Amino acid sequence: MVIPGETHILAINAGSCSIKFGLFKLNAALTPVFNGEIRDFGSIHSCFIVHGDASTDALERTFAIPDRVTAVEVLMEWLVERLAPSSLAAIAHRVVHGGAHRAPSRPIDKALLASLYDSVTADPDHLPQELHLIEELHRNFPGVAQIACFDSAFHSAMPPVASIIPIPRRYYDAGIRRFGFHGLSCAYLMKQLANLVDTQAAAGKVVLAHLGGGASITAVEGGQGRDTTMGLTPAGGIPMGSRSGDLDPGIAWYCSRKDQMTPAQFNHMVNHESGLLGVSGTSGDLRQLLSDAPGDAHAAEAVALFCYQARKAICAMAGAIDGVDTLIFTGGIGENSAAARARICAGLAHIGVRIDEPSNLINAAVISADASAVKVLIIRTDEQWMIAEEARLMLFMP
């Protein structure tokens, strides 16, 4: 089924081990037509899921997709069968590492593409796949405008005290700083907070806990990002599924001397062998670790570490903005794990956080107790919609 006629925006959200995508009608509400995901490529359990497309009716296929190149080929074949180039006003991409690009979105021209290729070493887990998708979509949908939506742009208002990395000044002058990520999710959450609660709450002191395979905590005040846990790359911050989070720099020196580890091997270790996976020795999936914890001390330790570090980071972000009025949980863990939220919030009473256990257990929209000084919410994030929204705004920018 080729979708003709109406104008649409195709949103592409490429991760290190997944590609999420969505098609939206170009109207004020950005009505979704379909959304899907290819995930876990590189394993025999790769999965291709689509919801909302009438021709597939909630397709779910599990088959081996050996690598990201094959994943892109599978997606291109599926999209070409359904979309005519004339049906697309734009194809919009989440570009994780925006580097010096501070605007929320901009057209992808030759100069921007060259700049992104120059930045690959700063984000080798995301940018190569994003660039490959841009090139393939240009080949399969010639003439359709492509737009880059930068995941780090939300954090561009962070003050220097939050963005400076304390190494020799020449690196800061060369553009090396803490950028922060999950910015499209942050922008969506703040928009939803204004719509679902009120604009006054969105203008107050907000801490966003995006907890999933990748995890970050962000402080927002007056609608502007003020600090966040991720840094120069998405490997920084709190421990994640397979990413270490912040490390003592001496560990790199130790691994180099003791194990003769190369810089590339060290980068692979901290991004793909660390975090919950590294501590447990079995899995980076918090659901699995919670299930295993009663009989597996290492799994229990990994869960405890994750919740402890998330709790510390929430306190730190509250300190960055001198208090917190609203705490929002999102991401796969933040939205779905009552156990993780309960453990994290149990140590936050001193900053005014008290949750209502029955509400927390059913993943209610509001999980704070009546006596809580801080409103605690669960908001399901939608990065694909936010990508499409940024593209829509850019298309109609005066």
Q: Catalytic amino acids? A: 151
Tokens 């734009």, located at residue: 90
CA 107 to chain centre: 21
Q: Report the 10 Å Cβ neighbour count for 29.
A: 9
Q: Which amino acid is at 77?
A: E
* Contact in structure between 225 and 217 (CB atoms under 8 Å): no
* Contact in structure between 342 and 357 (CB atoms under 8 Å): yes
| Rounded Cα–Cα distance for residues 155 and 115 (Å) | 20
* Contact in structure between 382 and 354 (CB atoms under 8 Å): no
Q: Report the 10 Å Cβ neighbour count for 210.
A: 27
- The neighbouring-strand residues paired with 118 are none
Q: Which amino acid is at 179?
A: F
Q: Pick the closest to residue 155 from 93, 92, 229 (CA basis).
A: 229
CA dist 207 → 115, 197, 265, 352 (Å): 32, 15, 34, 13
* Contact in structure between 193 and 205 (CB atoms under 8 Å): no
CB proximity list for 324: less than 8 A, separation 6 or greater:
205, 206, 207, 314, 317, 318, 351, 352, 353, 374
Q: Pick the closest to residue 135 from 74, 181, 91 (CA basis).
A: 91
| Rounded Cα–Cα distance for residues 130 and 12 (Å) | 9
Q: Pick the closest to residue 271 from 13, 15, 12, 14 (CA basis).
A: 15
* Contact in structure between 163 and 233 (CB atoms under 8 Å): no
Burial of 143 (0-12, 13-18, 19+ CB in 10 A): exposed
- 42 three-state secondary structure: coil
